């Protein structure tokens, strides 16, 4: 019979208790994060996010323990591979994603690291003095030479393509050129909230763009409601105003005399009369009309 160490039992119990009460639980990737930076991240997150580093096997046991109480949480086990940690928090998944992204910083490359994207070295001067450095740059695949007493990079070049390993020589030269292509930080894999799982691609949204989409959708729905004569608490006032304008326009254009149109119809008739009178011979007009038209009666 295999005896389970006491410390493992206590760790599983601790994890189980946290998973039972935390509104939001996430799995994050902590691969290649130096211990010093991990401590700094913990300090920045303290108070809003609880970061728990433990063995994946123990986390799996804790997830099994809570699976009967929290539907869907056992699916987090699929994301436990490599160096991972648990996150528990009261933040909603979108805010949590932003907090995790805020932990990421640029770091120098090390030999064997995989290029996260195309790494480019720009053409131009370098801070180096002429010497063996030129050969070191060339060995790393960086086109360099001495021009006018300065070490220069002759042309812009992609020295490592996305997905390719970075050689030791190139990593050293990138660091000396102060090019830090590696991103280090807590990489969110999956978030659990109330039985729902959110992958980081779902949570990675532009708040301003999302807000504009909501405004556009709201305006479109409002217009549809008004134009389809479907009254709601938000559209009824505009619909009544539109109906009033339409009724007024119909009455005015079809010469229906009501309180709202009679003054405008008389005003229009008066303008039409003056326009017609202005085209007639002043001799046939009365003095009052001539005065209104601004004509000189003596002429």
* pLDDT single digits (tens) 39-73: 888 888 888 999 999 999 999 999 999 998 999 99
Band the pLDDT of 2: cuts 50, 70, 90: low
pLDDT of amino acid 26:
96
Is residue 162 located within the same domain as residue 243? no
Task: Give domain status of residue 299, yes or no.
Answer: no
pLDDT-derived band at 7, boundaries 50, 70, 90: very high
Are residues 191 and 58 part of one domain?
Answer: yes
Range of the domain at 59: 6-104+185-205
Query: How far apart, in Å, are the Cα atoms of 203 and each of 73, 91, 100, 136?
Result: 18, 13, 11, 43
Is the same domain home to 19 and 93?
yes
Q: What is the pLDDT of residue 256?
A: 81
Q: What is the CATH number of the domain that holds 164?
A: 3.90.105.20
239 within 8 A of 245, measured Cβ to Cβ: no
In the prediction, which pLDDT does 190 show? 96
Domains of the chain: total: 3
Global pTM reads: 0.62
Does 41 lie in the same domain as 128? no
Q: State whether 88 and 127 are in the same domain.
A: no
Residues 95-116, mean pLDDT to the nearest whole number: 90
Measure the CA dihedral 234/239/245/246, to 10°: 160
Sheet strands (E) in 31-83:
49-52
CA pair distance 32, 30, nearest whole angstrom? 6
Give the domain-ending residue among 135, 162, 178.
178
193 lies in the same domain as 53: yes
Please check whether residues 224 and 280 belong to one and the same domain: yes
Mean pLDDT for 97-109 is 89
Residue 47 lies in a domain: yes
Question: Same domain for 191 and 54?
Answer: yes
Mean pLDDT of all residues in 136-148: 92
Taking only the tens place, the pLDDT of each residue in 23-44 is 999 999 998 888 888 888 888 8
Same domain, 42 and 190: yes
Instruction: Flag whether 113 is in a domain.
Output: no
240 with 215, same domain? yes
What average pLDDT does the segment 232-246 reach?
88
pLDDT digits (tens, 9 = 90+) for 168-225: 999 999 999 999 998 888 999 999 999 999 998 999 888 788 888 898 999 999 999 8
Report yes or no on 168 lying in a domain. Answer: yes
Confidence category of residue 1, pLDDT binned at 50, 70, 90: low
We report the CATH number of the domain holding residue 48 as: 3.30.70.1730
pLDDT, mean of residues 110-124: 92
**What pLDDT was estimated at residue 296?**
60
Which pLDDT does position 299 carry in this prediction?
Answer: 47
Structure tokens at 25: 């639980």
Q: Is 57 within a domain?
A: yes
pLDDT, averaged across the chain: 88
């Amino acid at each position: 019979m295999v005896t389970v160490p006491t410390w493992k039992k206590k760790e599983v119990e601790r994890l189980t208790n946290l998973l039972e009460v935390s509104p939001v639980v996430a799995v994050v990737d902590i691969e290649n994060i130096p211990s010093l930076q991990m401590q700094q991240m913990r300090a920045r997150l303290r108070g809003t996010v609880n970061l728990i580093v433990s063995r994946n096997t123990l986390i799996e046991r804790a997830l099994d323990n809570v699976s009967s109480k929290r539907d869907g949480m056992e699916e987090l086990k699929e994301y436990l591979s490599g160096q991972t940690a648990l996150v528990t928090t009261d933040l909603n998944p979108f805010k949590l994603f932003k907090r995790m992204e805020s932990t990421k910083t640029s770091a120098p490359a090390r030999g064997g690291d995989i290029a996260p994207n195309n790494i480019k070295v720009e053409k131009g001067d370098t801070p180096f003095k002429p010497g063996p450095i030129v050969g070191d740059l060339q060995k790393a695949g960086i086109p360099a030479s001495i021009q006018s007493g300065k070490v220069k990079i002759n042309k812009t070049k992609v020295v490592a393509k996305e997905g390719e390993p970075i050689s030791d020589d190139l990593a050293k030269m990138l660091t000396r050129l102060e090019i830090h292509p590696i991103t280090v930080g807590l990489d969110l894999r999956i978030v659990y909230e109330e039985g729902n799982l959110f992958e980081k691609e779902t949570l990675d949204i532009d708040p301003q763009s999302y807000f504009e989409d909501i405004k556009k959708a709201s305006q479109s729905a409002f217009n549809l409601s008004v134009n389809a004569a479907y009254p709601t608490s938000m559209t009824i006032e505009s619909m009544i105003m539109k109906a009033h304008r339409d009724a007024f326009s119909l009455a005015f254009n079809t010469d229906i005399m009501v309180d709202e149109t009679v003054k405008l119809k008389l005003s229009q008739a008066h303008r039409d009369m003056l326009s017609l009178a202005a085209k007639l011979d002043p001799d046939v007009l009365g003095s009052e009309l001539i005065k209104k038209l601004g004509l000189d009666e003596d002429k």
